[in-house]
Amino acid sequence: MNWLKSILLPAQGTAYAAEHDTFFMFIVALTAFFFLLITALVVFFVWRYRRRGDSPAESQVTHNTRLEIVWSVIPLILVMIIFAWGFHDYMNAYTAPGDALEIQVTAKQWIWQFEYPDGMRTVNEIHVPIGRPVRLVMSSEDVIHSFFVPSFRIKKDVVPGMYTDLWFLPEAEGEHTLFCAEYCGRGHSDMLGKIYVDSEEKFREWQELGDERTRTMPLAELGALLYESRGCSTCHSLDGSRRDGPSFKGVFGHEVKLSDGTTVLADENYIRESILEPQAKIVSSFEGIMPTFQGLLREREVKALIEFVKEQQ
């Protein structure tokens, strides 16, 4: 059954995923059996009892109480097993252990914002240490979203006006994809994120300095990376087309018309302010819907984004 499992399900990222998969494959086996049974009977009956000439049926039996009880009770027992097993695993999936690392999650059209207990904030990606349970306390700022990590086999809705929680115990180092599973509008299918499971040591390093890779990257290249990973691309195009925010194309070094009628020169200071205090100056004909990135970006990352915007001419 392992070959089938590897076709049907993504790689396992947690011990719970393995537990889930055992249960999943049990239902696969059970349903496959019943499907094959039904299909085999249909095909066999159609062939064996096909009408020859104008023949009547061989029998006119109308019921058989014993048989009917059997085919009611056996499925009942089987589904009760599925119910109980499913409930058992569900409680495991949704009951977080007490010593978990708690990360606050705020969903918003169409980005994921995270805040660690020490106040560090990230967007669309989190790093977590391997082997330590993580508990997510989630809420939404606008519509309902849903936090879904297929390789962990977990999902829960993120609802405005209330907190929901979710937990996992990461056991496979590497990168796991986070999807938004509750339809939330235009950017729904681009509302993805990454969960990086690091060794304890790498995790600490990341907490202090950011990624190993990004630390040595040229600024403009890092900016391009951030443009995608921090969700800038959801609202700001690079080709001049209009989205919810102004395009980056040809902005730098030019005059920008603001909604209060004044104009401003788009220089480094203007770009920096637009990232950290987006409500200060709103470009004419757009709405001030951008969240602040104050505290979400390291100093070098702000510089990288400015470099990146500069390049878009």
Partner 1 sequence: MADVASTSHPMAAGEPAATNYLKAERGFKSWIFTLDHKRIGVMYLWSVLLMFLLGGIFAMLVRLELLTPGKTIMEADTYNRMFTLHGAVMIFLFIIPAIPASLGNFVLPLMLGAKDVAFPRLNLASYWIYVIGAVFGVVAMVTGGVDTGWTFYTPYSTTSSTSVTTMTFAAFVLGFSSIFTGVNFIATIHRLRAPGMTWFKTPLFVWGIYATAIIQVLATPILGITLVLLMMERVFSVGIFDPRLGGDPVLFQHFFWFYSHPAVYIMILPGMAIISEIIPTFSRKNIFGYRAIAYSSVAIAFISFLVWGHHMFVSGQSELASAVFSFLTFLVAIPSGVKVFNWLATMYKGSIDLKAPMLYAIMFLMLFAIGGLTGLFLGALATDIHLHDTYFVVAHFHFVMVGGTVIAFIGGLHYWWPKMFGRMYSEKWARIAAVLIFIGFNVTFLPQFVLGTRGMPRRYYNYLDQFQPLHAFSTVGSWILGLGLFIVLGYLLASLRKRYDAPPNPWGGTTLEWTTSSPPIAHNFEHVPVVTREPYDHSPAPAPAPAGD
User: In the range 203-242, which residues lie near partner 1 by CB under 8 A?
Assistant: none
Q: Tell me the per-residue interface mask from 44 to 73 with partner 1, x by CB under 8 A, - otherwise.
A: -xx--xxxx-xxxxxxxxxxx--xx--xx-
Secondary structure of residue 177 in the 3-state scheme: strand
- Name which of 16 and 293 has its Cβ closer to partner 1: 16
From the list 1, 29, 31, 263, which residue makes contact with partner 1 (rule: CB under 8 A)?
Answer: 31
From the list 101, 130, 143, 289, which residue makes contact with partner 1 (rule: CB under 8 A)?
Answer: 143
> Of the listed pieces 43-51, 113-121, 208-216, 290-298, which binds partner 1 according to CB under 8 A?
43-51
Phi, psi of 101, rounded to the nearest 5 degrees: -75, 120
In sequence order, the 6+-apart residues with CB closer than 8 A to the CB of 271 are 252, 305, 306, 309
- Name which of 243 and 300 has its Cβ closer to partner 1: 243
- Name which of 51 and 213 has its Cβ closer to partner 1: 51
From the list 1, 18, 29, 90, which residue makes contact with partner 1 (rule: CB under 8 A)?
Answer: 90
193 touches partner 1 by CB under 8 A: no
> Of the listed pieces 91-99, 114-122, 197-205, 222-230, which binds partner 1 according to CB under 8 A?
91-99
- Please check whether residue 14 is in contact with residue 167, taking contact to mean a CB–CB distance below 8 angstroms: no
Q: Report the chain's terminal Cα–Cα distance, integer Å.
A: 55
- Name which of 190 and 212 has its Cβ closer to partner 1: 190
- Please check whether residue 223 is in contact with residue 229, taking contact to mean a CB–CB distance below 8 angstroms: no
- Name which of 129 and 170 has its Cβ closer to partner 1: 170
In whole angstroms, what is the distance from residue 168 CA to residue 96 CA?
8
Cα dist from 205 to 7, 126, 128, 143, 208, whole Å: 36, 14, 12, 35, 5
